[in-house]
Amino acid sequence: MFKNKKIYKIFIMSIFALILLFAAGCSNAAKEQTTETGSKFLMDTLVQMKVTGKNAEKVLNLSFDRIEELENLMSKTLKKSEIYKINHSSEPVEISDDTIKVLNKSIHYAELTSGRFDPSIGPLVELWGIGTEDARVPTEEEIAEAKKLVNYKNIEIDNNKVFLKQKDMQLDLGAIAKGYAADEVKRIAEENNIKSAFVNLGGNVLVIGHKADGSKWRIGIQDPRKNRGNIMAVIKAVDKTIVTSGNYERYFEKNGNIYHHIIDPATGYPADSGLLSVSIISESSFDADALSTSVFILGLEKGMEFIKDQKNVEVLFITEDLKVYLSPGLKGKVEITGEEFELIEGELSGN
Ligand code: ADP
Ligand code: MG
């Protein structure tokens, strides 16, 4: 059949090559269906992920590595972090583009909120110690002293060099770093052709595309009075982030008062705006994280006004009397599942 051995050899090799190609094709097709889930304790919270696609496992690993890398840069407590170095240096410290980006975005929101959101909140956070063994109600004098150190205008940024102009000032990026990390997970997933994924960084939820079965993601809003996992509303979402700030995340109770971890620099006390939680729905988790903390401090009326000026950003408020208020773009899109909660329709009046 074959004129010479050489042609025969080429024929056999081609058949082998075809078989290999076919096998590779099959395994790729099979791989496309893989859904990988994983969780890891990072950035002081439980990070949960679910990724569907050909590169699911790779994306899971790359994402956890990247979050850990960001934690190592921006943690306030890890001695090797850039934030720790800035907080403990008497001269400018050169830092990475990642930390600069997060710091610049923080200063942007500090300016927009007239300093109610402030990345130099560190001394007040440390004084209250909420979430640590040293949590306590400080004295008026202590609060007044720590308050003097909180002022984002004293953060000097020159290219990648950062200097805190006032002695004992301290940066704390706890209100925004997880949002940046969530957007980084999104970037990694998209670079690896993932069309469906879910990530939850302790209240910073981000979804990519639809669920693997083609339906929309159903994101639960935490019931602020109950343990994690108990929800009071559901929002259907595709390619969105939902970030919640609440007074239940880290707090302690004394003499019937709840002291939580979102501090109002204007008073030096935990923000007392009549809210139990604020959820921001948008495309960027980075912005949404800064916004949820900002709006929690601003309260219902001012917060609603503030959100109206932000593009493609929606908000859900839960007040202390269990009323739920929505920004106009969310109307009709939220399913309230908690019986004791009352959805308030219509525009806010009185401002
Ligand atoms: P969580 O980190 O629980 O998801 P937030 O995003 O609202 O909640 O961030 C709260 C954290 O932000 C606090 O633990 C603290 O580190 C920091 N923080 C507290 N008050 C402020 C503030 N006024 N401005 C900026 N950051 C703050
Ligand atoms: Mg936040």
Give the per-residue pLDDT at 170: 98
Between the CA of 295 and the centroid of ligand 2 the distance, in Å, is: 9
Give the per-residue pLDDT at 20: 45
Q: Note the Cα 127 to chain centre separation in Å.
A: 24
Give the per-residue pLDDT at 25: 46
Tally of CA atoms within 13 A in the half-sphere of 225 that contains its CB:
9
Reading the block at residue 105, the tokens are: 């975005």
Between the CA of 177 and the centroid of ligand 1 the distance, in Å, is: 10
Residues 211, 220: Cα–Cα separation, whole Å: 15
Closest Cα partner for 123 from 171, 176, 81, 155? Answer: 171
pLDDT, one tens digit for every residue, the chain (351 residues): 555 655 555 555 555 554 444 444 444 544 557 999 999 999 999 999 999 999 999 999 999 999 999 999 999 999 999 999 999 999 999 999 999 999 999 999 999 999 999 999 999 999 999 988 889 999 999 999 999 999 999 999 999 999 999 999 999 999 999 999 999 999 999 999 999 999 999 889 999 999 999 999 999 999 999 888 899 999 999 999 999 999 887 888 888 888 999 999 999 999 999 999 999 999 999 999 999 999 999 999 999 999 999 999 999 999 999 999 999 999 999 999 999 999 998 777 654
Q: Is there a contact between 324 and 306 (Cβ–Cβ < 8 Å)? A: no
Q: What is the largest CA-CA distance in the chain?
A: 100
Residue that has been written with the tokens 């859900």 in this structure: 316
Best mutation site among 252, 261, 272 for ligand 1 pocket (most ligand atoms within 8 Å of CB): 261
Give the per-residue pLDDT at 351: 44
